[in-house]
């Protein structure tokens, strides 16, 4: 029997699907109860990632070691009392290694600072790097259309886990995310959103401090309780993970799943509007 020739394009598309879905294992040694989960403080993630940075040949970014970079980010972020000041602090920050990997500029945020939810993606792309705003390429346009269809077009404040584009559009590393995490935590404190939408596996894993694949955690409401410089936020923020719009462009059949997540977010925000002291 003559074997069928390998369809390279189809194979690459299938592998990309599983990669973006967060598949990293075929099975586990023991069953896991995935119905109960509270994310630990992001500070723990930052500490572990900082240790990793320091352990890599004493690596330095912008003249700062990994630990010093996170410390400097915390100092700059804590001093920012407005989002404009936070944006300026990010521009001044030299501790993220992505600055030296071909990025043209820092890309912080766009959207409504008084909106009801914070949307966090992974990293800026080429178009975002050129324009200085997140989610403005094809993926961002799809995202905007989905939010508008759900009545959320003017309710989002949009940013990423890192503020400089990554080489070749790869996902940001935990070390790069750790260096930028204090700014993200400060943005949460300044905005005080009713909910957070995490877009893509890298954003979900970083913010929720989990190694679970995206397809295992998407659609589930969890909690984000960051600790800015060791000072815990007054209350956890509901967080929902969903698929990245760039993935949806490659796999249009997955839009139904992402749309269900967007509707879940809209319902959660509607509920928050009528809650006492919401």
DSSP code for 276: T
Let me know if residue 1 belongs to a domain.
no
Place of tokens 């992001």: 42
Let me know if residue 22 belongs to a domain.
no
pLDDT in tens, 196-250: 999 999 999 999 999 999 999 999 999 998 865 444 455 799 999 999 999 999 9
CATH number of the domain to which 126 belongs: 3.40.470.10
On whether the CB atoms of residues 249 and 206 are closer than 8 A, the answer is no
Let me know if residue 62 belongs to a domain.
yes
Let me know if residue 42 belongs to a domain.
yes
- Rounded to 5 degrees, what angle do the CA atoms 104, 108, 112 make? 140
Question: Both tokens of residue 1?
Answer: 């029997």
pTM: 0.77
Q: Which whole-number Å values give the CA distances from 218 to 19, 200, 209, 212, 264, in the listed order?
A: 15, 9, 14, 10, 11
Let me know if residue 223 belongs to a domain.
yes
Q: Is 114 helix (H, G, I), strand (E, B) or coil?
A: coil
Higher pLDDT, 115 or 28: 115
Number of domains in the chain: 1
Let me know if residue 64 belongs to a domain.
yes
Let me know if residue 13 belongs to a domain.
no
Range of the domain at 166: 36-274
Q: What is the pLDDT of residue 273?
A: 77
Let me know if residue 131 belongs to a domain.
yes
């Amino acid at each position: 029997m003559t074997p069928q020739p390998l369809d390279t394009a189809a194979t690459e598309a299938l592998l990309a699907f599983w990669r973006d879905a967060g598949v990293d294992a075929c099975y586990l040694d023991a069953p896991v109860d995935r119905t109960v989960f509270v994310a630990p403080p992001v500070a723990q993630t930052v500490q572990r990632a900082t240790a990793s940075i320091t352990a890599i040949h004493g690596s330095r970014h912008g003249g700062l070691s990994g630990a010093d970079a996170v410390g400097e980010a915390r100092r700059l972020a804590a001093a920012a009392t407005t989002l404009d000041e936070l944006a300026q602090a990010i521009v001044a920050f030299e501790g993220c290694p992505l600055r030296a990997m071909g990025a043209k500029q820092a890309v912080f945020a766009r959207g409504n600072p008084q909106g009801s939810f914070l949307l966090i993606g992974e990293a800026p792309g080429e178009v975002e790097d050129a324009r200085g705003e997140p989610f403005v390429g094809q993926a961002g346009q799809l995202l905007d259309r989905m939010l508008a269809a759900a009545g959320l077009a003017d309710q989002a404040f949009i940013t990423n886990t890192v503020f400089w584009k990554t080489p070749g559009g790869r996902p940001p590393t935990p070390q790069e995310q750790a260096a930028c995490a204090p700014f993200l935590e400060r943005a949460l404190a300044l905005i005080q959103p009713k909910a957070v939408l995490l877009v893509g596996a890298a954003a979900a894993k970083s913010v929720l401090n989990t190694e679970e694949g995206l397809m295992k955690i998407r659609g589930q409401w969890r909690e984000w309780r960051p600790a800015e410089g060791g000072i815990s936020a007054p209350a956890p923020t509901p967080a929902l993970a969903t698929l990245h719009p760039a993935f949806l462009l490659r796999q249009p059949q997955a839009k139904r799943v992402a749309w269900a997540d967007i509707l879940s977010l809209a319902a959660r925000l509607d509920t928050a509007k009528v809650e006492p002291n919401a």
